[in-house]
A and B are shown apart, each in its own frame.
Chain A
Amino acid sequence: MTAVEVGMQIDLDNLPALSLGCTVFAGGGGGDPRIGELMAMEAIHRLGPVEVLPLEALDDDDLIMPCGMIGAPTVMVEKIPNGAEGRVIREAYEGRFGRHVAAVMPFEMGGINGVLPVAWAAYAGLPLLDADFMGRAFPELQMLTPHLYGMSGSPAVITDERLQTIVFNTRDNIWLERLVRNCVATLGGSACGGLYPMTAGAARRPAITGTVTRAIRMGEAIRRGGEDPLSAIGQVAPLTRLGQGKVVDIERRTSGGFVRGSALVEGLAADKGRLFRLEFQNENLVVLEDGEPLATVPDIITLLDLHTGHGIVTEGIRYGQRIEIVAFPSPEVWTSPEGLSAVGPRAFGYDFDYVAVGVRHG
């Protein structure tokens, strides 16, 4: 789905829907979008709605600015951004490339990063592109689609609330991830950044299009869905229901700068007697039953609140929650051999191959 309604805007009415949609497509990662939503609300309140543009509306040599926050979303709940970070990143790129940025783009369409760029677009008076480079949320900087096409994340610009800027020109994207991650820790655990700057022409191959409007439609469907949010969700994106249950155990540990852990979910209603095991590294990675995978990355695995249909971030999983475990098909680009080597189950240390959830449960 790439069609954008003509004149589509993000305003105070549909912003909450965008935010809600971002909880569903995050696959458990990316943090609670709430702070991004409040920032965007404030920016739109002051400066008016943000125009949403399809990638086709830009000329080949228009410069786009993929951006978002990097680090711990739980830090941003305290240390809220200044608001000028987007401008600082933009000025760094405009100085570097000697031309104006034509549009802002979320590099990650899930969690807080699906909403934060809306605030920066509003402050800059720039349109927001209806596309991103993940089609969901992922934890690392080489897990963006341009990496699969051999494109460089550099020059990357990182800035903090003090509006200090650091520009990275790295040997490859693995070094970029390593250096940026350390830098973000020094800056206090969360920072804002621009990555993989490129022209609209160069973005046509890696961009996953239509993801901003899809998230808005998803949020609107859930809000309209009332008593039956799941069927509302299924009408916006192909949804596989893996099981309904209650969280009966949750365990988290920190390793290598990430939160890894698992949740046990005891089946309810039609799934009574079943036991599901969800494993995550910031994002949800796999759902297992009797040791066998029911779904794996890069398919988008999300825990939905049974009553509201809201997506639950991995930090927010609690004992006793009643949830529905669902999966959405991965953006196609991640299911190629190159894609799977970057973000497939083996990339996260599992000893099994990816089987599309639609095929497995078809």
Chain B
Amino acid sequence: MAERGRLRVGIDVGGTNTDAVIIDDQAKLLAKVKHPTTSDVTTGILSALRLVLAQLDGAAAGISHVMLGTTHATNAILERRNLNRVAAIRLGGPATHSVPPLAAWPADLRAAVSCGATIVDGGVEMTGEPIVPLDEDAVRRFLDEVAEQAEGVAISGVFSPVLSDQEYRVEELVREVLGDVPVSLSHEIGSLGLLERENACVLNAALVAVAARVTAGLGDAMTVNGISAEAYIAQNDGTLMSLDYVRRYPILTIGSGPTNSMRGASYLTGATDALVVDVGGTSTDIGILTAGFPRESSTAVEIGGVRTNFRMPDLVSLAIGGGTIVGPAGDDVQLGPGSVGYRLTSEALVFGGTVPTLTDAIVAAGRAHGIGDPSRTAAHERLLRRAVAASDARIEEGVDRVKTSGRELPLIAVGGGSGLIPDSLAGVAGVERPENYDVANAIGAAIASVSGELDRVFAYGKDGRDEAIAEAVRLARDEAIRAGADPGHVEVVEIEEVPLAYLTDPVARVRVKAAGPLKTH
């Protein structure tokens, strides 16, 4: 293999555009491109990659890493498309029968994903003792029943984050009965909270085919463009996963878009504590950067109507963007919810189309220059003026909702539609519009770091608290290094300790997260 260079490519697949950037190892931006997202997505990636490489002579040979942030998984769940049929096995009987697997799922998603679910006797106490012995015969019987339909198996055991032996044992049984079907183990995917972890595990198993297509598509796009480099995919906490890891944990890619844009905004401005507003073609995400990372949501996160316990950026999302269709509503104005999406450049007024959009509104208001032909908006002047006022009010309210203090923070405006953001907003110390604001997501993907996390219940009795915490830190660091972080630069970024109430022996749930820059070769 030829010696690799020091260039990195970041790619972001959004609902409207697929963006690509090239940065060097000092994170300096060398090239960027925006290209419409294609309905098959992969063609868009291939083209964006080709176009960005064309801006830099001989770049392909110099590329060491390619990082992709993508909405493939989110879209598959939202649209109930391309999902694997999953057999869900819960190890927990006689406990947990009162809330069956997938009980609170939307019916159409359950129909698209589930080919059967069961609760077998098993699972462990928080001490790791079995609740009752694992019923292996019941597992085999269930697998026989679903053998014809199952394209994936999700295994979730009670307190498996404490002791995961039973989930591994059942994986062996699946291999015996069903052979080489994809298996997801809950303890590898979520933290404590059986139902949320099980939901995430089932969704993960359902996304395996989508992940395979994305990783194969990225591989092809690289090969076609003559790139021989390591490929990574961005996950929802602003860190990266290898392609192998993505094939096993596709669910972790969900939510990576907003994270990338916030990390990219931090990079573009040097700000570490700020509001970030990312306006795309169809939606606007408002989040907060704390110490350079997105603030995470403390409440359960819903994906396609299903509760999970993922770390996700704490966001306020508004269904307005540059492509949002504007229409009259009596005396007032109606914003969306429809959007012209990637057809903006043919359907919006300023581009000679017939559909009034928010892009037309900001062009008419003089907030955006060099976009289409402003004179084409004249016939809709009143409507567009009202649309700007309505959109400003929505953004101002969203900004206030996401803030956790009355302190004024700077606001960083990013995304292709960020002309929507007014120059002054209540509670905002000033609006910053960095150069290259339109490719903040792709930059965020290109500069992402690698992390490892541990979330487990420790009984302090035997070895004491200090040793338990030290053990937790060690495991989190190992996890980060296994994921590709530079061992010399891994740092603990978070330790959280929650004693479990009402028990006589000291027992606590400890969560540790370690992260570091990607190891370079």
- Chain A 238-277, CB-CB to B under 8 Å as 1, else 0, gives 0000000010000011101111000000001100100000
In the bound complex, what is the Cα–Cα distance between A184 and B502 (angstroms)? 9
**B98 and A82 form a contact (CB under 8 A):** yes
How many chain A residues touch B (CB < 8 A): the figure is 53
Q: Enumerate B99-141 residues with CB–CB distance to A below 8 Å.
A: 99-100, 103-104, 123, 125-127, 129, 131-132
In the complex formed, the residue of A with least CB distance to B307 is A34
**B502 and A162 form a contact (CB under 8 A):** no
**Which residues on the A side are within 8 Å of B505 (C-beta)?**
185
Chain B binding surface SS class:
loop
Min Cβ gap A176→B in Å is 15
Q: Indicate whether A154 reaches chain B with its CB closer than 8 angstroms.
A: no
**B501 and A81 form a contact (CB under 8 A):** no
**Which residues on the A side are within 8 Å of B327 (C-beta)?**
none
Q: Enumerate B59-106 residues with CB–CB distance to A below 8 Å.
A: 92, 94-100, 103-104
**B501 and A74 form a contact (CB under 8 A):** yes
In the bound complex, what is the Cα–Cα distance between A252 and B501 (angstroms)? 10
Min Cβ gap A150→B in Å is 26
Q: Indicate whether B177 reaches chain A with its CB closer than 8 angstroms.
A: no
In the bound complex, what is the Cα–Cα distance between A80 and B497 (angstroms)? 22
- Chain B 474-515, CB-CB to A under 8 Å as 1, else 0, gives 000000000000000000000001111111111111000000
**A38 and B99 form a contact (CB under 8 A):** yes
In the bound complex, what is the Cα–Cα distance between A320 and B315 (angstroms)? 15
Q: Which of B190-198, B226-234, B361-369, B371-379 binds A?
A: B190-198
**Which residues on the A side are within 8 Å of B401 (C-beta)?**
307
- Chain B 321-361, CB-CB to A under 8 Å as 1, else 0, gives 00000000000000000000000000000000000000000
Q: Indicate whether A23 reaches chain B with its CB closer than 8 angstroms.
A: no
In the complex formed, the residue of A with least CB distance to B90 is A80
In the complex formed, the residue of A with least CB distance to B499 is A254
In the bound complex, what is the Cα–Cα distance between A41 and B104 (angstroms)? 9
Q: Indicate whether A211 reaches chain B with its CB closer than 8 angstroms.
A: no
Min Cβ gap A2→B in Å is 31
**Which residues on the B side are within 8 Å of A162 (C-beta)?**
94-95, 131-132
- Whether A75 contacts B498 in the complex (CB less than 8 A), given A162-B94, A188-B125, A307-B401, comes out as no
In the bound complex, what is the Cα–Cα distance between A71 and B501 (angstroms)? 8
**B92 and A74 form a contact (CB under 8 A):** no
- By CB atoms of chain A within 10 A, which of B97, B99, B123, B505 has the most? B99
Q: Indicate whether A39 reaches chain B with its CB closer than 8 angstroms.
A: yes
**A189 and B125 form a contact (CB under 8 A):** yes
In the complex formed, the residue of B with least CB distance to A140 is B502
Q: Enumerate A63-105 residues with CB–CB distance to B below 8 Å.
A: 70-75, 77-84
**B95 and A81 form a contact (CB under 8 A):** yes
In the complex formed, the residue of B with least CB distance to A178 is B504
Q: Enumerate A272-315 residues with CB–CB distance to B below 8 Å.
A: 272, 282, 307, 314-315
- Whether A77 contacts B500 in the complex (CB less than 8 A), given A82-B94, A83-B98, A189-B125, comes out as no
Min Cβ gap B112→A in Å is 21
**B500 and A163 form a contact (CB under 8 A):** no
Q: Indicate whether A322 reaches chain B with its CB closer than 8 angstroms.
A: yes
**B127 and A322 form a contact (CB under 8 A):** no
Which of B159, B460, B501 sits near A282, CB closer than 8 Å?
A: B501
Q: Indicate whether B295 reaches chain A with its CB closer than 8 angstroms.
A: yes
**B500 and A74 form a contact (CB under 8 A):** yes
Min Cβ gap B156→A in Å is 10
In the bound complex, what is the Cα–Cα distance between A307 and B123 (angstroms)? 38
Which of A41, A78, A259 sits near B192, CB closer than 8 Å?
A: A78
**B99 and A42 form a contact (CB under 8 A):** yes
**B95 and A80 form a contact (CB under 8 A):** yes
In the bound complex, what is the Cα–Cα distance between A72 and B500 (angstroms)? 6
**A282 and B194 form a contact (CB under 8 A):** no
- Whether A72 contacts B98 in the complex (CB less than 8 A), given A77-B193, A80-B92, A321-B298, comes out as no
Min Cβ gap B509→A in Å is 7
In the bound complex, what is the Cα–Cα distance between A201 and B401 (angstroms)? 51
**B193 and A78 form a contact (CB under 8 A):** yes
Min Cβ gap A234→B in Å is 22
Counting from the closest, the 9 A-B pairs by CB-CB distance are A83-B98, A161-B95, A188-B125, A254-B499, A257-B504, A80-B96, A259-B501, A39-B98, A72-B502
A residues contacting B by CB (< 8 A) are: 31, 35, 38-39, 41-43, 70-75, 77-84, 119, 139, 161-163, 181-182, 184-185, 188-190, 246, 252-254, 256-259, 268-269, 272, 282, 307, 314-316, 318, 320-322
CB pairs A–B below 8 angstroms (9 shown): A42-B103, A74-B498, A79-B126, A80-B158, A163-B94, A181-B504, A185-B505, A282-B502, A321-B298
